[in-house]
């Protein structure tokens, strides 16, 4: 899919497995994962990223996420990460074609930040659904795994919420899975690209940057987190959980 793209911190193998998700995205009704990529026919960048469409309307997550909040978050913030990633890829390909140098350290850091931001947001949009369609708690094998590792859904919900609310500054809370130990784990992600565990696929994540909730909740991150539990697509998460197990 990609040619000479840097993915620092080793997160390519764990977080960014679009080849594993091709059928999964199609099944979920979120169109195809191939829509995440826009083809180019020029001699520069052959593959560039594209902002994925939402599988629901902008007002469909209300009252927990308003139409205004979702439009700005998806169309402005997420689009910005896509644009920045594409600009970096084009710059790198141009430099390689011309045999010139660029700031390798800064470019690696910027690419990791923006590409991770794109991927994390894509998971975030996909895992949500209108409250009228959402079950109240996990289902299937995913529900069983949560009960086995955390004791109960309520305990998992408490731990995940505490991890999300305690993120310092900007970042994410994420539920991961280790195929070696078959354990679920909750982690914090600083900004977009720090503290990821290599080869641990993310099952669900929650954006707790202020841009994710400030229009609706001002500085009340806790209230935003509380509302998030009402719009999770547990059926799709169960399908995905089955798919990522080796």
Binding residues, by number, are 73, 121, 207, 211
Cβ atoms of residues 14 and 199 within 8 Å: yes
Closest CA to 217 of 85, 58, 63, 4: 63
Cβ atoms of residues 222 and 165 within 8 Å: yes
Backbone dihedral angles phi then psi of residue 206, each to the nearest 5 degrees: -135, 120
Closest CA to 71 of 174, 216, 232: 216
Residues placed in the known binding site for Mn(2+):
73, 121, 207, 211
Rounded CA separation 206/116 (Å) = 14
Cβ atoms of residues 202 and 240 within 8 Å: no
Structure tokens at 163: 């991890």
Helices (H) and strands (E) in the chain, counts: 9, 5
CA-to-CA dists, residue 189 to 47, 65, 113, angstroms: 27, 22, 11
CA-to-CA dists, residue 240 to 124, 200, 201, angstroms: 13, 14, 10
Question: Which element (helix H / strand E) includes 49?
Answer: strand 47-49
Cβ atoms of residues 80 and 115 within 8 Å: no
Rounded CA separation 234/129 (Å) = 9
């Amino acid at each position: 899919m990609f040619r000479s793209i840097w993915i620092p911190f080793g997160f390519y193998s764990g977080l960014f497995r679009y080849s594993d998700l091709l059928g999964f995205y199609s099944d979920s009704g979120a169109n195809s994962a191939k829509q995440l990529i826009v083809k180019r026919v020029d001699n520069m960048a052959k593959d560039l990223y594209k902002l994925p469409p939402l599988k629901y309307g902008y007002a469909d997550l209300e009252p927990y996420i308003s139409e205004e909040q979702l439009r700005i978050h998806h169309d402005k913030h997420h689009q910005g990460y896509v644009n920045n990633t594409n600009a970096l890829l084009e710059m790198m390909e141009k430099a390689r074609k011309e045999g010139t140098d660029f700031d390798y350290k800064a470019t690696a850091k910027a690419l990791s930040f923006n590409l991770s931001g794109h991927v994390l947001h894509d998971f975030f949009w996909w895992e949500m659904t209108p409250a009228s369609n959402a079950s109240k708690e996990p289902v299937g094998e995913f529900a069983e795994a949560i009960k086995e590792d955390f004791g109960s859904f309520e305990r998992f919900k408490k731990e995940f919420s505490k991890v999300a609310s305690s993120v310092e500054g900007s970042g994410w809370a994420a539920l991961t899975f280790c195929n070696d130990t078959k354990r679920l784990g909750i982690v914090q992600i600083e900004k977009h690209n720090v503290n990821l565990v290599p080869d641990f696929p993310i099952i669900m994540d929650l954006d707790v940057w202020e841009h994710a909730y400030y229009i609706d909740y001002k500085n009340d991150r806790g209230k935003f987190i509380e509302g998030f539990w009402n719009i999770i697509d547990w059926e799709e998460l169960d399908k995905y959980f089955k798919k990522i197990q080796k």
